[in-house]
Structure 1
Amino acid sequence: MTRRDRQFPLGGRQAWIVYVSALAIYILAVFNRSSLGVAGLLATERFHIAATQLSIFTMVQLFVYAAMQIPVGALLDRFGPKRLLLCGVLAMTVAQFAFAFATTFAEGVAARVFIGIGDSMVFIPLLRIVALWFPPLRIPMLSQLTGLSGQLGALMAASPLVYALHRWGWTPSYASSAAAGVLFALLVLLLVRDSPNPDHELDQIKVRAIARGVRAAWRTPGTRLGLWSHFSAQFGATVFALLWGYPFLVAGQGLSPSTAGTLLMLMTVTTVITSPVIGGFITKYPFSRSTLILGIVVAIMTVWGVVLLWPGRAPLPLLVVLVLVTAVGGPGSLVGFDLARTFNPPTRLGSATGIVNVGGFLASLSTVTLIGFILDRVAPGGPTTYTVDSFRVAMSAQYLVWTLGVVQILRYRHKARRGLQESDPEAYAALRAGQSIVP
């Protein structure tokens, strides 16, 4: 029996080799995604742009990412994770090189578009690898481990990239980070496999069948519950880390660049610590996953309310609490994927996961745009005129997005629970009893 004909055990040595290799691509993707967040003020100088134009960099990247999720989910069901991961890392590598040498606003935007395209082809295939290569009871915890490990990319963007940008400049820093993509592409080619069992390789699915799968996933209330959970929990941390957190802390709250970078690193550390806690909770209490999301969102809204209502600049301890609580939304949003897995059969898991992943990035896209638009209205002079009051008004836009998300979570939680109780009372009872169910 050749290696290609062999069936590998779920959760065995080969599973971990495949998973870690794919995970490395995700870490790189998070780094590329986050790399503009600490360079926002430098970007305004390099490209001679205002806040609205700066937000366009992140806006187009998030828009492309969100728009690609459902097609990527369908393509994943058609071609498998390995091919998508390879396409993703190659697209990001070329785009990051282009961004390193971009000198005009148009060139920079084009580069961020292709970073968004490449980024969109990484996370969903990685979750498919987890679902195929590991036993069902380990999937929730591994999903949290995936989000946790991806924060290594954000950590590298929060501190080492800040140091590199100030020491070596724009082009050497971004070009060096892009070079890593070549090595990561080799990892995919040599070590990643689509399935542990070649006898169950993905079928050649016709376009009409793919469309039916997407429609069926969308009609499932559990999928939309996952989408709105991801929508509500993720965007606060994403907006803060990807673009507006650093200017908010430096220009709005008067912190030094090094202190602001440290707080962004603290967000990553918080994600690392809370991810296994959340993973353990949803494994033990699967019926209460949406309740957990609601609690996280309300906590984030509350802390932001205190900071924005504080007279003048908020004290450093309060800002520490802000980044700690906001960071929990990142691993919390991954619960949305577990909800989609619960209510969809494996044959359309890629499509359902893609739909869920649209949520957080659609919310992030909207919020990034709103904040940039408001900043240009209240501080038309650009970054040099940003004040605590400017950011007080701009950051309040987040409450519009949170409110919409909470209303929709409550709506689809009721629909998902009622639908499961009517269609499969035994599965509903098992879920209430704390048992993980597989459609």
Structure 2
Amino acid sequence: MRAGIAFLVIAYMLSQFYRAFLAVLSPVLMDELGATTGDLARASGLWFICFAAMQLPVGWALDHLGPRRTAATLFLIGGGGGATIFALAQTPGAITWAMMLIGIGCAPILMATYYIFARQSSAAIFGTLAGVTVGLSSLGNILSATPLAWLIAAFGWRATVGGFAGLTIVIALAIALLVRDPEKPAGEAKGRLSDLLRMPQLWPILAMMFVCYAPAAGLRGLWISPYLADRFSADLAQIGNATLVMGLAMVAGNFLYGPADRLFGGRKRPILIGNAIVALACLSFWLAPPQGFGMAIALFALIGLCGASYPLVISHGRSFCPPHLTGRGVTLLNLFGMGGAGVMQFATGPTYAALARNNDPATAYGTLFGLIGLIIIAGLALYLWAKDSTG
């Protein structure tokens, strides 16, 4: 099982890579395929939408088929197949279809890992395990930054993405061979998704899930690249280094949030504080736009660091889910997290296009990021009503 968990972590590292690699690939995709920021925002948003849409069937599959078959099958067909289509793409439309397939393929990986943790460890340490898993997997963010820029410069973007397609297929086969499904207690109760939706303590947490991941995912996954290019004329190497810094901040954030529930005596307070900082950082692009390249990167890094509350929010929601609904509980939470990121990313393309028609880049990007900050504040207002948990 240790080897199986290791390959699930590597698979989720690739999931982190795929959701973020458009930020570095965008200049070459614009040059060679004629893709626009709107095309890439749509493709990125649909990755998250497809990922989110798969969460309910993935939850059913985890509870009925187990994590091994669920994760290996989807990651092989969707992840490996989608990356292959991406490497062969000739149009922006093909990129969109490839990203949708990759999103479907990556959908079960983290939830399969969380399902195993929830079945085999206590609720008290679930948040730490979840944070460490996402923290280690966030190295995929690092891989999709400066190292990806180096690989593209050395081998071209098609050969690079094709290589990752092959790696994805190998990892999927390793999951099929090495992951072991945890045993279920005899006579365990049956349940339905509607049982979770009737739990009022989950709704404020679902609202927080909807907004907490979207800023870091959207800015790191796409918008940091055109922002730095349009505002500061950054080249590919500079964009790679900037995304690397933000990616490292996200890795650090995941490790910091992991034990935060024990340090603060509950999960609610660190989630509120961290996301309030993210909201203020996003609003600062609007109200006091950074005047230098370094200050802009510092703000992006702050958003990455404090915007990594995703595993702690899932841990908060998971603490209220009964054991027999573990699979559907964590995937319902993940649906809101990834769905929120997808909806926000999908909406940012046309929103920026409308803003850019009558404003300079600093104003257009600043307003866009400021609107994201206001959405986070709305989510925090609902989350204030959440019941805290420590176990």
TM norm structure 1 = 0.82
In the alignment, what sits opposite 2:365?
391
State which of 302, 309, 321 in structure 2 corresponds to 1:325.
Answer: 302
How far has the Cα of 1:318 moved from its partner? 2.3
Letter of the structure 2 residue corresponding to residue 113 of structure 1: M
Give the whole-Å Cα distance in 2 for the aligned partners of 1:233 and 1:261.
24
Q: Report the RMSD for the aligned CA atoms in angstroms.
A: 2.4
In the alignment, what sits opposite 1:7?
none
Mapped contact 1:140–1:283 kept (Cα < 8 A) = no
How far has the Cα of 1:193 moved from its partner? 0.3
Cα deviation 1:235-261 (Å, max 9, x = unaligned) = 110001111111112223433432332
Residues 1:38 and 2:24 are matched in the alignment: yes
In the alignment, what sits opposite 1:421?
none
State which of 262, 278, 303 in structure 1 corresponds to 2:281.
Answer: 303
State which of 46, 56, 60 in structure 2 corresponds to 1:70.
Answer: 56
Mapped contact 2:44–2:222 kept (Cα < 8 A) = yes
Letter of the structure 2 residue corresponding to residue 72 of structure 1: V
Letter of the structure 2 residue corresponding to residue 366 of structure 1: V
Q: How do 1:351-430 and structure 2 match up within 5 A?
A: 351-379=328-356, 387-411=361-385, 413=386, 416=387
State which of 205, 211, 229 in structure 1 corresponds to 2:208.
Answer: 229
Larger Rg: 1
Mapped contact 2:210–2:340 kept (Cα < 8 A) = yes
Give the whole-Å Cα distance in 2 for the aligned partners of 1:259 and 1:106.
28
Q: More deviation in 333-342 or 368-377?
A: 368-377
The verdict on how the C-alpha distance between 1:256 and 1:386 changes in structure 2, with shifts beyond 3 A counting, is farther
In the alignment, what sits opposite 1:345?
322
SS in 1 for 2:181: coil
SS in 2 for 1:194: coil
Letter of the structure 2 residue corresponding to residue 335 of structure 1: L
How far has the Cα of 1:327 moved from its partner? 0.8
Give the whole-Å Cα distance in 1 for the aligned partners of 2:102 and 2:368.
27
Mapped contact 2:13–2:138 kept (Cα < 8 A) = yes
Q: Sequence identity of aligned pairs in percent?
A: 21
In the alignment, what sits opposite 2:164?
177
SS in 2 for 1:57: helix
Residues 1:47 and 2:33 are matched in the alignment: yes
Letter of the structure 2 residue corresponding to residue 272 of structure 1: V
Give the whole-Å Cα distance in 1 for the aligned partners of 2:10 and 2:31.
32
Letter of the structure 2 residue corresponding to residue 230 of structure 1: M
SS in 1 for 2:259: helix
In the alignment, what sits opposite 1:57?
43
Mapped contact 1:234–1:329 kept (Cα < 8 A) = no
The verdict on how the C-alpha distance between 1:292 and 1:386 changes in structure 2, with shifts beyond 3 A counting, is same
Letter of the structure 2 residue corresponding to residue 315 of structure 1: G
Letter of the structure 1 residue corresponding to residue 92 of structure 2: F
Letter of the structure 2 residue corresponding to residue 58 of structure 1: S
State which of 270, 289, 294 in structure 1 corresponds to 2:249.
Answer: 270
Unmatched tracts of structure 1, length 5 or more: 1-13, 418-430
State which of 95, 98, 108 in structure 1 corresponds to 2:95.
Answer: 108
Letter of the structure 1 residue corresponding to residue 204 of structure 2: L
How far has the Cα of 1:388 moved from its partner? 2.2
Mapped contact 2:282–2:372 kept (Cα < 8 A) = no
Letter of the structure 1 residue corresponding to residue 270 of structure 2: L
Q: More deviation in 179-188 or 325-334?
A: 325-334
Give the whole-Å Cα distance in 2 for the aligned partners of 1:232 and 1:179.
33
Give the whole-Å Cα distance in 2 for the aligned partners of 1:365 and 1:244.
14
Mapped contact 2:318–2:326 kept (Cα < 8 A) = yes
Give the whole-Å Cα distance in 2 for the aligned partners of 1:330 and 1:348.
28
How far has the Cα of 1:202 moved from its partner? 10
Cα deviation 1:140-185 (Å, max 9, x = unaligned) = 2111001101111111111221222233222111101111012212
State which of 102, 124, 131 in structure 1 corresponds to 2:118.
Answer: 131
Mapped contact 1:51–1:373 kept (Cα < 8 A) = no
How far has the Cα of 1:61 moved from its partner? 1.1
